[in-house]
Structure 1
Amino acid sequence: MSQTIAFVGVGRMGANMARRLMDCGYNVTAVYDVYTEGAASLAKEIGCKHATTLADVTAAADVIFTVVTNDASMRTIFLEGSDNLLVNAKGKIFVNCATVTPGIHREVYAAARTAGASALEASMASSISQAREGKLYLMLAGDEAVYQQVQRIIEDLSVNRRFIAGGAGKAAEVKALVNMVMNINTAGLAEGLGLAAALGHDLGMIREVFSQTGANSRVLETDGADMADRSHDCWFSAEHAAKDSGIAGLLAKEQGLNLPLNTATEAQYQKMVQLGLGGLDKSGVAELTFKGRHA
């Protein structure tokens, strides 16, 4: 555990990953976030430096985890301005956990190599509580030799993981597929439960029947009761669902594929954003399908 670790992006996922590694005995030396109050609070909690510049983060650690929101944020922290993570970054390893396009991962990978550093993808398919408990599922891509250098850290963050061959961007492609299918399933479940409610069926009974038939799915377990109860505390936001379905749509367009279900699902989540519901959990798509709700 001799490697020092820092974090850029300490919202609920990043902060819980930092807490987890501290619990495991790692030396987390610095945290940074554009929301400075949150970063300062976490730094005080776990006893590390609140870095106020990106270059300070790089200087403070051997391994830097980034957990940011989108391509623009990735470009800002790595590729733009005089203060970015690649300043004096020779020998550093960046582990990038955000759900962003494969293209930006490839850009960062190339820029890191030019700076004498390494960039590894570690796309997450898990929740906030799983980040705290070290039970993430991680999809990794980049150079396998770099992965081996941080494998112990990755294992302490995750219950399972998959290294995906093919180079930079490949884990992001797989993550886009995961979220595309998850979002389609969630929107489909919302329509099924919305129609069942309109027909006067007991939704507890419907969920039980679904669970024993071909209508079963992981999202039935995670989101079914929340859709019925209108309980949409955010674990994975509708805004993020819209973004991720959009990433899948862009990949399909590049391949000349038509994905009508993904297109319809993205439109539903974009509608939530337009209605001011983007901060709800993805289960909130049921608000668009049940009679008498927001739709």
Structure 2
Amino acid sequence: MSEARNVAFLGLGVMGGPMAGHLARNGHKVTVYNRTAAKAETFAARHPGARFAKTPREAAGGADIVFACVGNDDDLRAVTLSPEGAFAGMRPGAIFVDHTTASAEVARELFAAAKALGLGAVDAPVSGGQAGAENGALTIMCGAEPEIYAQAEPVMAAYARACRLMGPPGSGQLTKMVNQIAIAGLIQSLSEALHFAKTAGLDAAAVIDLIKNGAAQSWQMENRTKTMLAGEFDHGFAVEWMRKDLAICLAEARRSGAKLPIAALVDQFYAEVEAMGGKRWDTSSLIARLER
């Protein structure tokens, strides 16, 4: 547990809400803001000592660290750079930590804006999903100046299994892109493997129980096989969110010249899943398009 700090948290969705809760339970004085005000009011009622604010600017007033976990680049700019945004309320020397999965471009933009105001900034996207947020076991990938990261890291430890500085501003978001590219390929391969096993007349569950002990093993194989075989797709990160993330990856690849043929193909497959009505299914639903 780090020294108790005054903190603000902007965005109380399936990830942000649990993360803010861990901060409150670890003794930090938490002020929360959410676009749907009722959610912020409910959070404050459930966590003794927590407060809710009507605007990001109000929430950020007096905070040592302001955290955010919102939807996309535009949402992020709205809660930071608008007249009622957090940057307008933060005192010099305070730190902004962004847990949104966003572009490296906006991470660098916010770093520059924060620097001009005498603020620190950390882009810190997370991996681990809703369960990781609820259990305080997220992996956090950070881009920042080392001295700023050193101040923020002990506070982020409230909900982190692993946290690491990956480089200068934008590096956290670039690392998260690597994570999403790898996951997309893994889920597609696992979907094809299960589909093949079933069409070959094998007991797919028995096959997985055996091969998970070898080189094919992955987190997806361990945690999603049973629900994929059962056709249950309500266990985590939604297809529409994955497509948002893959769009960020593909845009960055166009800028850098990286080649992502598999990621681009899997994004097209997810578009087919959306057309099947699976916009809110979890990412393991790639198998559904093979079994239509």
Aligned residues: 288
Partner amino acid for 1:59? G
d(CA) in 2 for partners of 1:76 and 1:31? 16
Q: What is the percentage of aligned positions where both structures have the same residue?
A: 25
Cα displacement (A) at 1:60: 4.7
Q: Check if 1:97 corresponds to 2:99.
A: yes
TM-score by length of 1: 0.92
Asked if residue 42 in structure 1 is aligned to residue 40 in structure 2, the reply is no
**Match of 2:228, as an amino acid?**
M
CA contact (8 A) 1:186 1:223 kept: no
Give a deviation string over 1:72-97, Cα, whole Å, max 9, x none: 111211223x2111113222211101
**3-state SS of 1:86 partner:** helix
Match of residue 130 from structure 1: 132
1:210 counterpart residue number: 211
Aligned equivalents of 2:128 and 2:201: distance in 1? 34
Q: CA deviation at 1:288?
A: 1.1
Check conservation: 1:58, 1:92, Cα contact below 8 A.
no
Asked whether 1:263 is paired with 2:254, we answer no
Paired with 2:239 and 2:259, the residues of 1 have a C-alpha distance of: 23
1:174-213 mapped onto 2 (5 Å cutoff): 174-213=175-214
Amino acid at match of 2:78: T
Please list the CA deviations of residues 174-205 of structure 1 after superposition, one character each: whole Å capped at 9, or x if unmatched.
Answer: 11011111111012211221222223221211
Assess if the C-alpha contact under 8 Å between 1:238 and 1:280 holds in 2.
yes
Q: Map of 1:1-295 to 2, 5 A cutoff? A: 1-28=3-30, 30-47=31-48, 48-80=50-82, 82-89=83-90, 90-165=92-167, 167-290=168-291, 295=292
Please identify, of 171-180 and 121-130, the stretch whose mean Cα deviation from structure 2 is larger.
121-130
TM-score normalised to the size of structure 2? 0.93
Residues of 1 paired with 2:51 and 2:27: CA distance?
17
Aligned partners of 2:261 and 2:130: how far apart in 1? 30
Q: Confirm or deny: 8 A CA contact 2:81 2:88 kept in the other structure.
A: no
Of 63-72 and 255-264, the range deviating more from structure 2: 255-264
Deviation of residue 141 (structure 1)?
1.2
Q: Please give the secondary structure, in 2, of the residue aligned with 1:120.
A: strand
Contact 1:91–1:117 (CA under 8 A) maintained in structure 2: yes
CA-atom RMSD in angstroms: 1.6
Moved more, 106-115 or 231-240: 231-240
Does the residue aligned with 2:54 lie in a helix, a strand or coil? coil
Quote the offset at 1:110 in angstroms: 0.7
Q: Which moved more, 1:147-156 or 1:267-276?
A: 267-276
What is the CA distance between 1:224 and its match in structure 2?
A: 1.2
The 2-side partners of 1:229 and 1:72 are apart by 37
- Paired residue secondary structure (2:186): helix
Contact 1:6 1:60 in 2 (8 A): no
More deviation in 124-133 or 108-117?
124-133
Give the drift of 1:136: 1.3
User: How many Å separate the matches in 2 of 1:79 and 1:37?
Assistant: 23
